[in-house]
Amino acid sequence: MRLVTRVLIAGNDTVVKIPVNPNGTAGAPAVFVNSVNGADGLIIDEHDNLWIAANQADEIVVIDPSGRTIAKLGDFNGLDHGGAPIGLLFPTSLVFSGPFVYVTNLAIDLRLFGAANATGDSPWTADVKVHTISRIPAFIPPIHGLPRQ
C-alpha cells in the first residue's frame, strides 16, 4: 500500500504529513514525527518507511508508517588523510540504488551563519577538503518484536 499523503521536513526537527483528499487537494497538515535531529532530506522505500537524513546526528533515521523509529544507520568516523569524511558528516540528500542508499555529505560548518550555530561537528567540517557521497547498505537490521519486511 502506498501512502496517500505527502511528507515534508520542517525547520524544527519534525516531519509533517499532509493527507491528499480524494479530489487531489491537500488535507490538514499534522506533525508525523518529532525530534529527528537535523531532519534534512528524505526518501520513502517500498514498505512506506521514511529514510531521513538527520544531519545533526550524522545518521539516517528510518521510520515506519506508524511513526516508530526502526533503524538508525551510519555514523561519522573522522576524516581521512586527504580531508574527506569517513562515513556521514552532515548528511543531506538520499537516493536508493540497488541494495544501497547513497547519501551526500554536505559537511557544512554552521558557524558560517554565526557562532551561535556551532555544533559538535563544526571543528570537523572546517577541516573538510573533499566533499563525498557515502554508500550505506539499504538494510534495516532485525528488531525484536518488529515483523520482518
From residue 145, alpha-carbon distances to 70, 88, 135, 148 in Å are: 11, 29, 28, 9
- At residue 64, the pLDDT reads 92
Contact of 76 with 91, CB cutoff 8 Å? no
Domains of the chain: 5-137 (2.120.10.30)
Residue % of the chain over a pLDDT of 90:
48
In the prediction, which pLDDT does 84 show? 96
What's the whole-model pTM score?
Answer: 0.84
Residue position matching grid coordinates 511528507: 7
Residue 146 confidence (pLDDT): 64
Residue-level pLDDT at 1? 36
- List own/partner pairs for 6-10 with CB under 8 A and 24 or more apart: 7/32, 7/42, 7/44, 7/50, 9/36, 9/39, 9/40, 9/41, 9/42, 9/52, 10/39
Identify the three-state secondary structure at position 54. strand
pLDDT of residue 71: 93
Task: Identify the three-state secondary structure at position 116.
Answer: helix
- Measured between alpha carbons, how far is residue 76 from residues 26, 28, 73, 98 in Å? 38, 37, 11, 23
Mean pLDDT by 10 residues, the chain (149 residues): 54 80 86 82 91 91 92 94 95 94 91 87 92 92 70
